[in-house]
Amino acid sequence: MAAKKQAEAPAKKGFQKPTERDFAVIIKPVITEKSMAGMQNASKVTLKVSQDTNKSEVKLAFERIFQVKVKDVRILNVKAKATTRGTRYHGYIQGYKKAVVTLAEGEAIDLFKE
C-alpha cells in the first residue's frame, strides 16, 4: 500500500515587527471629508509622510505598523500656500508629502481606536 502524502497548508506569512524608521516614515493621518469618504467607501487611507520617503517604504511601514496587506500606494506633494492674517501679516502654510494607501480586498483598519 502506498502511503498518502498529506498536503500541508502553506503557513500564513506574518508581518515583521515595526522599526523606528517605520514610525518616522508615517507621520499622521490626514483627516478631511474626502479622506474619510475614501476610507469608508474604497478602503483608502490618507497619510502625511516624511519628505524623503518613496512608495515602497510607505508600503512596508504601513504593513508593519497596522498588520494589514496593502494593494497600492499613491504619493503626491502638497504645495505650500500663501496666507494672510487680516490684511497686515503675510505668511505661508507649509507644504508636505501625502500618501494614499489602498488596502487589499478584505482588509480593514481602525485609525481611531480608543
pLDDT of residue 15: 80
* CATH code for the structural domain at 20-103: 3.30.70.330
pLDDT of residue 112: 77
Residues of the chain with pLDDT under 50: 1, 4-12
The structural domains of the chain, with segments of one domain joined by +, span 20-103
C-alpha of 7 from chain center = 36
The pLDDT assigned to 13 comes to: 64
pTM flag (> 0.75): yes
